[in-house]
Chains A and B, each alone.
Chain A
Amino acid sequence: MAQKKTPKVGERRLSWMILFLLAGIGVVVFRVQQRLNPAVEIITMPVAGIESSGPRKKGEQLSVMIPVPEGMVAGTPLEIFLAENLADKIDGKADLYLSSGFARLFCRRFVSPDDSDFWIEILVYDMNGTRNAFAVFSLQRRSGAVRLDVTPFAYQAENALFFAHGHYYVEMISSRLSEIAQKKMRSAAEQFVRNAPVPDGEMPEPRLFPETNRVENSIKLIASDAFGFEGFNGIFTTDYRDGEKNLSAFLSVRPTSQEAESLAEEYARFLLAFGGEAIPSTLNIKNAKVRFILDTYEIVFVHNRVLAGVREAEDLQQAISLAELIQKELIRHDQ
């Protein structure tokens, strides 16, 4: 039987040296990886794909889904951009989409066969979820645009048309200002909705905001880091106008009431940490927290799984009234 023998000191030292050397190599490799040479990346960066090579979801026929505006012809192949190269298409605005769950963008330009300067570009952002699509739609909503009934969330500007449809956020942009261009875009939007059936996305929050004094078309969804607070994701906001004063409300349905309560506590602490002052609550809402920060009042509270609150209120009484109104609306929806 073989005899077990303790390694000698020299063997131990040699083993440690080898391990140390391997660890050193690991550190060097790690550091080099952190300093990728951008010149090298010219070769390795992903490029926009066309339909034949780009990714697609099961059963999805992209070229069919993007409709050809009436009387126009395709001016470019279908292009597909992923998170890695979205900035190549939209530069600095890519962050807005990437922080909201962006999956891919596919786009195509159509031109008039009679006039090459007249074109319409259709950009379809697959946002990987109804809420995400609504988030990017709402955060870019233009004031004063004409509401369309193509989908519940659609509007038309002088030269463009924007809408959210299920997990898609769609932009149609024309090179011309004309009634003809608007008509073509409207028709193409209706066609897109027919071509791309989507499941009904459950998004209860917009219905939970009280209607009294609410500013029309002001509901927004902030996908992440709402109000500068890291924990706030999926927060709906809307504006109110009470007399001459503006204020806003927010709410978000959380998975559990415990999470809602925990987030409310953390947000209230966050406001204090950034110079806010705690104001004793006189609200008829249990556990409501009132803060005075940057010359405005904020209220945060929880109702079952709903985290809710009021922001940027110049007047404390107005903030309290709105918070209590939200509470009443939430109770009404409970019944």
Chain B
Amino acid sequence: MTNDSDTGRVMGRRQWLQQIGKAGGAICLLWSLGLWLREKDGRKSALPVTSVRFSNYAVPGMAGKLVAVTGGEDRSKAIGLALQALGGIEKFIRPGDQVLLKVNAAFASPPLIGATTHPALVAELIRLCLKAGASGVLVADNPINDPAGCFSLTGIDAATRAAGGSVVLPKTGDFKPLFLQGAKRLDGWPVFYEPFKKVTKLIGVAPLKDHHRSGASMTMKNWYGLLGGRRNILHQDIHRTIQELAHMVTPTFVVLDGTVAMMQNGPTGGSLSDLKQTGTMIVGTDQVAVDAFGAVLLEKDIQTLGFIRQAEAAGLGTADYRSLNPILIST
């Protein structure tokens, strides 16, 4: 028997066990109720069951290619010359290909600020892909705040439509959890997968920018725009995240638009005085090398850009871009 000191009542063992049992039952009941409500409020339905992984969009035999066109302000001309130097767009895009251009449309800002992919570059790439026989060109990004406004105000929407492409705006159901073996940050993270369903070629098109957190925003960081969820928490481990983004996607090629570079106050900028005319269009199939080249234009020490070092260490490319014998074209 036990003594309840508050009431002075004597409690028998059986009674004590009964009370413990009731208390345990009540806890289980509340727990079950919580679980039931959790599923009822729709969150479980937001958790897709099937994980996805991105295909390898690289073209065999084109690994390690790098070209830079310098001296010009005409983006259309520069991208044309760069691709010509790599054997022409036909080396990458075959008739019937469905192409996705992953642009940076993260902010509702005008092209002159240099925070987003320039619409003239988007238009020319669409034109080249269609000329090579692509069956369609999709243009996508996931600017979390007001996607339609971002595509419109950056000029990308109008440029895409005028050139014959289609903009894909993200919707909640377009996201699937990513399967990325060995990834610490991105395995299971929701990604903007819908536009990839029928895509056979992928081209990343990024502006060259300073970035307050990662030091620089270039082609590898550009894939961040494929992430959904509350992705800003990934900034806490930004270098590892960017390295995993490069691991997540193997594109057909990437374009780093260094016609102007945002040298400070990135990634949003806001003032023309944040920009510098660097007059360089970089195109390559090695994202790490392209970004390493871009870092030079941004006057950043590669050693301070952890994501480049990590991506190289992970075998995703080389930070020694000169070792790829880049083709340099001066206009």
Q: Do A and B come from one complex?
A: yes
**Is A60 close to B, CB under 8 A?**
no
Once the chains bind, are B188 and A92 in contact (CB under 8 Å)? Answer: no
Task: Write out the residue numbers on chain B whose beta carbons fall within 8 Å of the beta carbon of A145.
Answer: 271, 273
| 27 examples of A-B residue contacts, CB within 8 angstroms | A1-B8, A2-B9, A3-B3, A3-B10, A5-B2, A5-B3, A14-B20, A37-B47, A39-B47, A42-B229, A44-B43, A45-B229, A90-B107, A90-B268, A91-B106, A91-B268, A92-B214, A93-B266, A121-B108, A157-B272, A157-B273, A158-B273, A159-B112, A171-B270, A173-B109, A173-B270, A177-B112
Task: Write out the residue numbers on chain B whose beta carbons fall within 8 Å of the beta carbon of A92.
Answer: 211-214, 217, 235, 238, 266-267
Which segment, of A136-144, A190-198, A217-225, faces chain B? A136-144
Q: Which of B84-128 contact A (CB under 8 A)?
A: 106-110, 112-113
Task: Write out the residue numbers on chain B whose beta carbons fall within 8 Å of the beta carbon of A89.
Answer: 145
**Is B199 close to A, CB under 8 A?**
no
Once the chains bind, are B228 and A42 in contact (CB under 8 Å)? Answer: yes
Q: Which residue of chain B has the shortest Cβ distance to A18 in the bound complex?
A: B20
Once the chains bind, are A144 and B273 in contact (CB under 8 Å)? Answer: yes
**Is B72 close to A, CB under 8 A?**
no
User: In the bound complex, how far is the Cα of B19 from the Cα of A14, in angstroms?
Assistant: 13
User: In the bound complex, how far is the Cα of B10 from the Cα of A1, in angstroms?
Assistant: 10
Once the chains bind, are B232 and A143 in contact (CB under 8 Å)? Answer: no
Q: A40-B46, A44-B43, A159-B112 are in contact. Are A142 and B274 (CB under 8 A)?
A: yes
Q: Which residue of chain A has the shortest Cβ distance to B221 in the bound complex?
A: A92
Once the chains bind, are A39 and B273 in contact (CB under 8 Å)? Answer: no
**Is A104 close to B, CB under 8 A?**
no
Once the chains bind, are A38 and B188 in contact (CB under 8 Å)? Answer: yes
Number of A-B contacts (CB under 8 A): 134
User: Which of B24, B228, B232, B267 has the largest number of chain A CB atoms within 10 A?
Assistant: B232
Q: Which residue of chain B has the shortest Cβ distance to A44 in the bound complex?
A: B43
Q: Which of A1-24 contact B (CB under 8 A)?
A: 1-5, 7-8, 11, 14, 18
**Is B161 close to A, CB under 8 A?**
no
Once the chains bind, are A88 and B232 in contact (CB under 8 Å)? Answer: yes
Q: Which 10 pairs from chain A and chain B are nearest by CB?
A: A38-B229, A87-B232, A175-B110, A157-B271, A142-B273, A41-B230, A88-B144, A88-B145, A92-B213, A39-B190
Q: Which of B228-268 contact A (CB under 8 A)?
A: 228-232, 235, 238, 264-268
Once the chains bind, are B8 and A2 in contact (CB under 8 Å)? Answer: yes
Task: Write out the residue numbers on chain A whose beta carbons fall within 8 Å of the beta carbon of B57.
Answer: none
**Is B40 close to A, CB under 8 A?**
no
Q: Which of A120-155 contact B (CB under 8 A)?
A: 121, 140, 142-145
Residues of B in contact with A (beta carbons under 8 Å apart)? 1-3, 8-10, 13, 16, 20, 24, 42-43, 46-48, 106-110, 112-113, 144-145, 149, 153, 172, 175, 177, 188-190, 211-214, 217, 228-232, 235, 238, 264-268, 270-274
**Is A27 close to B, CB under 8 A?**
no
Once the chains bind, are B9 and A42 in contact (CB under 8 Å)? Answer: no
**Is A96 close to B, CB under 8 A?**
yes
Q: A38-B230, A41-B230 are in contact. Are A2 and B43 (CB under 8 A)?
A: no
Q: Which residue of chain B has the shortest Cβ distance to A37 in the bound complex?
A: B47
Task: Write out the residue numbers on chain A whose beta carbons fall within 8 Å of the beta carbon of B153.
Answer: 119, 175
User: In the bound complex, how far is the Cα of B109 from the Cα of A119, in angstroms?
Assistant: 10
Could you say which interface size class chain A belongs to? 35 or more
- Nearest chain B CB to A90 CB, angstrom units: 5
Once the chains bind, are B42 and A95 in contact (CB under 8 Å)? Answer: no
Q: Which residue of chain A has the shortest Cβ distance to B17 in the bound complex?
A: A14
Once the chains bind, are A2 and B3 in contact (CB under 8 Å)? Answer: yes
Of the candidates B2, B230, B273, which one forms a contact with A11 in the assembled complex, judged by CB atoms under 8 Å apart? B2
**Is A299 close to B, CB under 8 A?**
no
User: Which of A8, A38, A43 has the largest number of chain B CB atoms within 10 A?
Assistant: A38
- Nearest chain A CB to B273 CB, angstrom units: 4
Task: Write out the residue numbers on chain A whose beta carbons fall within 8 Å of the beta carbon of B232.
Answer: 87-88, 91, 94
A76-B149, A142-B271 given; 13 more Cβ-contact pairs under 8 Å: A2-B9, A3-B3, A37-B47, A41-B229, A88-B144, A92-B212, A92-B214, A93-B268, A142-B273, A142-B274, A144-B273, A145-B271, A162-B270
**Is A186 close to B, CB under 8 A?**
no
Task: Write out the residue numbers on chain A whose beta carbons fall within 8 Å of the beta carbon of B230.
Answer: 38, 41-42, 45
Once the chains bind, are A4 and B270 in contact (CB under 8 Å)? Answer: no
Of the candidates B109, B175, B272, which one forms a contact with A39 in the assembled complex, judged by CB atoms under 8 Å apart? B175
Of the candidates A48, A95, A109, A143, which one forms a contact with B145 in the assembled complex, judged by CB atoms under 8 Å apart? A48
User: In the bound complex, how far is the Cα of B213 from the Cα of A11, in angstroms?
Assistant: 57
- Nearest chain B CB to A20 CB, angstrom units: 14
**Is A313 close to B, CB under 8 A?**
no
Task: Write out the residue numbers on chain A whose beta carbons fall within 8 Å of the beta carbon of B113.
Answer: 159, 173
Once the chains bind, are A40 and B273 in contact (CB under 8 Å)? Answer: no
User: In the bound complex, how far is the Cα of B270 from the Cα of A89, in angstroms?
Assistant: 13
Once the chains bind, are A160 and B270 in contact (CB under 8 Å)? Answer: yes
Once the chains bind, are A175 and B112 in contact (CB under 8 Å)? Answer: yes
User: In the bound complex, how far is the Cα of B110 from the Cα of A121, in angstroms?
Assistant: 10
- Nearest chain A CB to B256 CB, angstrom units: 17
